[in-house]
């Protein structure tokens, strides 16, 4: 578990916390990534929100260790008969 100390700093009319590069790399965070937060009596918990890419949604549950079922691929007939 990583731990350390972060400092609130002025940013325009707001306050911000800067995250160290090591932490950004560890979680694959980039500029404009979003976080969920939960506040309890004595702590603030931040959780990165990663949007699922469309291709990942389409392939959800696909087992890449299995061979691709080529029989379900429509090959469109013989070479030279392709539709463009």
* Residue ranges covered by each domain of the chain: 8-63
Written as six digits, the tokens of 63 are 């087992």
Closest listed residue to residue 19, CA positions, set 4, 41, 40, 1: 4
With cut-offs at 50, 70 and 90, classify the pLDDT of residue 21. very high
Mean pLDDT over 33-51 rounds to 91
What pLDDT was estimated at residue 66? 80
Q: Which of 40-44, 59-63, 70-74 has the highest mean pLDDT?
A: 40-44
CATH of 8-63, one of 2.10.260.10, 2.60.40.420, 3.40.1590.10, 2.40.50.100: 2.10.260.10
What pLDDT was estimated at residue 55? 84
What would the pLDDT profile of 27-40 be if each residue is shown by its tens digit?
Answer: 889 999 999 999 99
């Amino acid at each position: 578990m990583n731990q350390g100390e972060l400092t609130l700093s002025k940013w325009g009319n707001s306050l911000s916390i800067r995250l160290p590069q090591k932490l950004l790399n560890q979680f694959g965070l980039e500029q404009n990534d979003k976080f969920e937060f939960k506040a309890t009596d004595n702590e603030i918990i931040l959780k990165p929100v990663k949007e699922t890419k469309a291709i990942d949604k389409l392939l959800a549950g696909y087992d890449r260790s299995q061979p691709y079922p080529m029989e379900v691929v429509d090959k469109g007939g013989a070479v030279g008969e392709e539709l463009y």
